[in-house]
Structure 1
């Protein structure tokens, strides 16, 4: 209960031309098409994926 914060992650750029590893990370976040949004629990693992994909996603806290 100490960390009940959530963040919204939106895919704002297409995956064409990106590394295969980054495409898998986008899939791990649960994002599919451009414009898709997921509300995820704020954790170090999710933040790590977001930091890796900073050029593809937009984060709303």
Structure 2
């Protein structure tokens, strides 16, 4: 299956608890960190929820 790279570009400080937990579930901890995940509908939904905090890298 295809992989997708996700980068955290905005701080979790001041965001709703649900969004912080979503970022944690994606495996992101620090600004600038990049993780590689399988491109599934579940991961896409998580990215959509916190799209103002993350960036998809090609």
What is the TM-score normalised by the length of structure 1? 0.92
Which structure 1 residue ranges, 5 or more long, are not aligned?
none
Measured in 2, the distance between the counterparts of 1:33 and 1:60 equals: 16
2:14 maps to what in 1?
A: 17
Report how many aligned residue pairs link the two structures: 58
Aligned to 1:59: 56
**Alignment match of 1:49 (pick from 33, 46, 50):** 46
Query: Normalising to structure 2: TM-score of the pair?
Result: 0.96
Aligned-residue RMSD, C-alpha: 0.7
Larger radius of gyration: 1
